[in-house]
Structure 1
Amino acid sequence: MKNIIDSKELHLKNVNVEMKAFYKKKNYFMKHWPLYSMILPGVLYFVIFKYIPLAGSIIAFQDYNVFKGITGSAFVGFKHFLTLFTYPEFTQVFGNTLLISLYKLVLGFPAPIILALLLNEVRKMAFKRTVQTVLYLPHFLSWVIVGGLVINLLSPSTGIINEIIRVFGGKEIFFMQEPSYFRSIVVGSGIWKDVGWNTIIYMAALAGINPQLYEAAEVDGAGKLRQVWNITLPSMLPTIMILLLLQIGNILDLGFEQIYMLLNPLVRETGEVIDTYIYRVGLVGGQFSYTTAIGIFKSVIGLVLIVGANQLSKKTTGSSIY
């Protein structure tokens, strides 16, 4: 009888503890409801536009018909994935995407780091702020505007680049019609547009470095280059690695707007990438199942790359995104 009473008392104590914990969480939520309400739009955005559309990925395994819908379309398994790997046009598009992404990674990723290091050495604040503002401005322009500027600058008849070439006795170059120039134009315009914005992150990392480290280095006789190599870059390494990991994860996601604005039939051989190919074949051509399979393939490659790079970074530098 005593054991039964003890067990009931223990059960009541556990219930009381759980009830207290519940009311404590409820009171905490009610107390901080403005903070939770601020994150609600972000949560709804990801749920509505990121997670719910994942259900539509099933059409990659169907011969999807718009009129029959998902439930009425025939299931074909991995047919579209096999087509993807055997279709010569996709192989070319995939190669273009990898090459342009590699160029952006090799040339574009170090650019804001170098710019941040240079701006960090500027001591005249008025000049520094002016340069920063000028460099940040292109980021706020849409690719419609930037693409128009690039096309006008490189125009063979009225473009300032060809005007300079003619002044020095050269012949105008049809930059936008030459496949060999297209990738360089894409990478260069991308760096020009985003380098200033990415510099903000590295400038913030530089501001967090303890100035006493530089003072101690100067006492030891270290010059500017030695300070950058031994103090600045190691202090920036966690930030650099996280941004590098994020860029590796998006290596196949070049951005539809930029390529679409600059692409034309004459340079499609070297300039068309996965995003523009999906638009042309999927939305315009109506091959929804095939292009959905391409999208899944691209997402899987990105996931594998970011997980692998994250594990490698964690083992070598100790920095990771999770």
Structure 2
Amino acid sequence: MLSRGDLTDGEWAVLEPLLPVSNDRCGRWRDHRQVINGIIHRLSTGVQWRELPEHFGPWKTVHKRHLLWSADGTWEMLLQHVQAAADVEGDLDWNVNVDSTSVRAHQHAAGALKKPPPAPAISAKGAPQINSPARAHHPAAPAGGGGAPGEALGRSRGGLTTKIHVAAEGRCRPLSLLIRPGQRADCTQFEPVMDKIRVPRTGFGRPRRTPDSVSADKAYSNRKIRAYLRKRGIPHVIPEKKDHKAARLRRGSRGGRPPGFDKARYKDRNTVERTINKLKQFRAVATRYDKRGYVFLGTVTAAALLIWLRS
């Protein structure tokens, strides 16, 4: 029995070779395709894990698989694989745009016990490895937001919120993702989200981490960010704030030159907003139900993976 949104045969053909064949603790895994379809159903509907339809198998199996793959970097590894495949085919636009969005946390997302994520317990025997897989640099407490104080939950005008920071490529697909507490300023997370861009090579060579250009709104307009981009040799389009411009003009010649601004390039910044809209089509992303930060990051990463598979 198929449900709306289940993996197609083509999508499954991309993922199947990358998934672990056996479990070191209890032999073979339950059918990966059935479990992933259960995770997709929960992503799309936001339903409680206990309410998953029976044809996806035991809800505890689906839930624990998602917890484990969120902790050990499997979702990120799969996302990087499809990004690498798109890059090889020339289907990845390296004109990157950065922005963030706030997500209201459900009351059930609060009150997580202070304990580390589960240790990875999988064996990827027989699974082909792409160069520099995410699993190789993913510790038990993921640096992508799950280990943030307070489980990436913060107080803002909207109440208890989490902020998703996104770097999107030019075809409205996420390149990197971070979660942080909702009250954190966007500019403080620019460098971390840029540093998470990591598209592996399918053969030899280091992963590509440098985009052709970067665009962002005024929230990212400060000297530190511009210096960071200049140091890496990345052309950028970030509008200057009015108070920054006034301060520069008051200093006269000592204020320096105004930053360059390409209006035509800046118009393409809507791609990151459209990417965020795609992510929020998944109800488990638009509202945070996960207590643990690393699990919610895994939820958002799984949604990004589906966007790439279906683009």
| Superposed pair shares fold, TM > 0.5 | no
Give 1 or 2: higher strand fraction: 2
Q: Which has the higher helix share?
A: 1
What TM-score results when the alignment is normalised by the length of structure 1? 0.24
TM-score (normalizing by structure 2)? 0.24
